Amino acid sequence: MSEILRIAEKEIGQTEKPANSNKTKYGKWFGLDGVAWCGVFVSWCYAQAGFQLPKIGFLKGYAGCQTAVAYFKKMNQITVNPVEGDIVFFDWNGDGRYDHTGLFVKWLNKTEFETIEGNTAIGNDSNGGNVMKRIRKNNNVIFVHP
């Protein structure tokens, strides 16, 4: 298992406090607390593993999915063969706007894969307030190997 995933796995079960506030230790570290934090969580995991993501709008990585996807496309870092610890972006509506991000763990079969994500919950995929392991479908996603 990659160091990035080892770090992320230790965070499973962490929640924002107070509930529905988007306030987390990840946001404090990032310097942007109280906002949607899925990208902040990914940036934090990479940094804790000793790999600083590029400054994509912020000094410590990325917060916004749209900006990050545009950057990674420009840098030719999109992959169709993700490895553990790579980044995944989700476009829930299939409208070309990426709504959420997390860390790729492994393929479960040809159409499903496992992730670790921040700011998610069952029934609220993009702003759920928890760090969780999730099973996702390979629909409307982009994988990034930074």
Domains of the chain, residue spans? 3-144
CB 119 within 8 A of CB 130: yes
Q: Tell me the C-alpha distance between 86 and 103, whole Å.
A: 6
Bridge-based pairing of strands 87-90 and 141-144 is antiparallel
As beta bridge partners, residue 79 has: 143
Q: Return averaged pLDDT per consecutive 10 residues of the chain, 146 residues in all.
A: 95 95 97 95 98 89 95 97 98 96 98 97 88 96 97
Query: Does a cis peptide bond (omega within 30 degrees of 0) precede residue 146?
Result: no
Confidence (pLDDT) at 70: 97
pTM summary value: 0.96
Confidence (pLDDT) at 58: 87
Confidence (pLDDT) at 141: 98
The residue with tokens 């410590």 is: 60
CB 11 within 8 A of CB 45: yes
3-144, CATH topology level: endopeptidase fold (from Nostoc punctiforme) (3.90.1720)
